[in-house]
A and B are shown apart, each in its own frame.
Chain A
Amino acid sequence: MVIQIDEISKLFGTTAALHPVSLSIPGGALVALLGPSGSGKTTLLRILGGLEYPTSGRVLFDGQDATGMTVQERRAGFVFQSYALFRHMTVFDNIAYGLNARPRASRPSKAEIARRVTRLLDLIQLPQIADRYPSQLSGGQRQRVALARALAIEPRMLLLDEPFGALDAKVRKELRQGLREIHDTTGLTTVFVTHDQDEAMELADLVVVMSMGRIEQIGRPQDIRTRPATPFVRDFIAG
């Protein structure tokens, strides 16, 4: 799905989290929103997911205006920074949540739900953990369960907020590869937020560098490395 962001701005009270920004994301791309904290990257991601409404501007999905769409209608698979797994539910119930929440007419049968959950657990390479609770999982396992839960709703796009933020360096490396593989298998347009330039450069097809609520540069990783557009980008990727 092609995502277009057209002059989106966001004010919190009187502070501008986003100055009008525009961005076009090609279908099937893996895009990183890269920037320090307070750069507006998470706000932009939440606007795409329908968790925040922009103060002005439009969001278009495949050319259609989606600005007024509710969070439920958008069908965006969202992975939260601390994963936000439902702590009182097993891994199975977590992943099945989106399917169970569908209206009766479009809800798959119990057997079909079980089949899909099993397939997703295989996809994230954790087939044995269906009966465990989130508190019994490691950080890396939680991240993958959150990913499976987001994929279960057959989303139109994947949005990930600092998906590797809470993990140690070794697990982080492994899961980067995991996300790349899942992206390539599903072909979903994927946007992830990160403050780690290595992560953005290594993983993404397209990197969007942000600072102070503005987009500093949009480009392929090697272009940003070789031709930083602004002094900020040069400093940021050097640090």
Chain B
Amino acid sequence: MSDIPLPPAGLRPAAARRFHAPTDEAPAARLVLILLAVLGLGVLVLAPLATVFAEALSRGIGTALASLSDPQAWSAIRLTLLVAAIAVPLNAVFGVAAAWAITKFDFRGKAFLITLIDLPFSVSPVVAGLCIVLTFGANSLIGGWLVAHGFPIVFALPGIVLATMFVTFPFVARELIPVMIEQGRAEEEAALTLGASGWRVFRTVTLPNIRWALLYGVLLCNARAMGEFGAVAVVSGKIRGQTATVPISIEMLYNEYMTVAAFSMAALLAFLGLVTLLIKTALEIRHADQLTAQRRH
């Protein structure tokens, strides 16, 4: 189009001057839409986030840091990091296994498995927590036996890890499935015909092809694992200094009017979330081509 020399604007027919692309909105409509979006973002996201940091720092950064170094706060942070450190790698392994099975093989019950993977997105975390309590609690058959043998699940670390894993299970698999479907099986088949074993194919062909999508899924999974409240609240028993994670501690501190401490913890959690978001955005910019198959949620 740009190669064709246009006559000066004054000489162009009026219709051509009035013409604009059918998908363009009128300037006024555009302005209103942009304002609405900015207003929505400001009121719903930016203002609350700013308030968290402002409240945390309202008595100075020293007070905020002091409240974080309190032994109970410190124990909550350690617990949250520990839970994420166990749940995220396990979910990464399960997610890769599930995505691999779904995309590379044809078998009966595949649709059912896909639905099952999405289940945690549709079931309320509180319900999930309750299920774990009912299954593994001291009054249940399995739970009773485990408690008798000195390995309690509920109101202890294993329960918190289980609840977190349940809630964050879909993230890795959901990121990988569309990417792996798009890439197909041809490269794996080629590697097999060249004499590679199944494990070698996975290590040298499959994994390198999904690495960015996998990292992306792990990041989302991690963010959610550190922030999970509902399911963990039910199974943890909220024992201060023992089973209270960061989100649980925030709620307890807030209910006790310990505003600075609550907001300091909240600011820390928000900060971790923002870092995740930053890495995620960097990944999207650098490896957009390998992530495009999956703009779904």
Contacts and interface: CB of A to CB of B under 8 A. Distances in A.
Interface of A: 49-51, 71-72, 74-78, 80-82, 84-88, 97-98, 101-102, 149-150, 152-153
Contacts of B190: 78, 80, 84-86, 149
B181 to A, nearest CB: 15
Given A97-B191, A101-B191, A84 B196 contact: no
Interface of B: 186-187, 189-197, 200, 204-205, 208-209
B209 A101 contact: no
User: A49, A72, A87, A153: which has the most chain B beta carbons within 10 Å?
Assistant: A72
Contact of B193 (A76, A86, A87, A102): A76
A81 B189 CA distance: 12
Contacts of A97: 191, 194, 196, 204
Given A82-B186, A84-B186, A72 B205 contact: no
B197 A86 contact: no
Contact of A87 (B189, B194, B196, B209): B209
Contact of A101 (B187, B189, B200, B208): B200
B286 to A, nearest CB: 15
A51 B193 contact: yes
Given A51-B189, A80-B190, A101-B191, A86 B205 contact: yes
Given A80-B186, A86-B187, A72 B192 contact: yes
The 6 closest A-B pairs by CB, nearest first: A98-B194, A84-B186, A78-B193, A101-B196, A84-B190, A88-B208
Contacts of A150: 193-194
A153 B187 contact: no
A101 B186 contact: no
B interface: dominant SS: helix
A87 B183 CA distance: 10
A85 B197 CA distance: 17
A80 B195 contact: no
Contacts of B197: 72, 101
Contacts of A80: 186, 189-190
A51 B187 CA distance: 13
16 contacts: A51-B189, A71-B193, A72-B196, A74-B193, A75-B195, A78-B190, A78-B193, A80-B186, A80-B189, A82-B186, A84-B187, A88-B208, A97-B194, A98-B194, A101-B191, A152-B194
B193 A49 contact: yes
A80 B189 CA distance: 9
B103 to A, nearest CB: 16
A70 B111 CA distance: 29
A60 to B, nearest CB: 19
Given A51-B192, A72-B196, 17 more contacts: A50-B193, A72-B197, A80-B189, A84-B187, A84-B189, A86-B190, A97-B191, A97-B194, A98-B194, A101-B196, A101-B197, A102-B195, A149-B194, A150-B193, A150-B194, A152-B194, A153-B194
Contacts of A84: 186-187, 189-190
A88 B205 CA distance: 8
A178 to B, nearest CB: 20
Contacts of B189: 51, 71, 78, 80, 84
Contacts of B204: 86, 97
Nearest to A149: B194
Nearest to B205: A86
User: A51, A82, A101, A152: which has the most chain B beta carbons within 10 Å?
Assistant: A101
B195 A101 contact: yes
A75 B193 CA distance: 7
Contacts of B205: 86
Contacts of A85: 187, 190
Contacts of A152: 194
Contacts of A82: 186
Contacts of B187: 84-87
Nearest to A146: B190
Nearest to A102: B195
Contacts of B192: 51, 71-72
A20 B204 CA distance: 37
A47 to B, nearest CB: 13
User: B190, B191, B193, B208: which has the most chain A beta carbons within 10 Å?
Assistant: B193
A61 B209 CA distance: 35
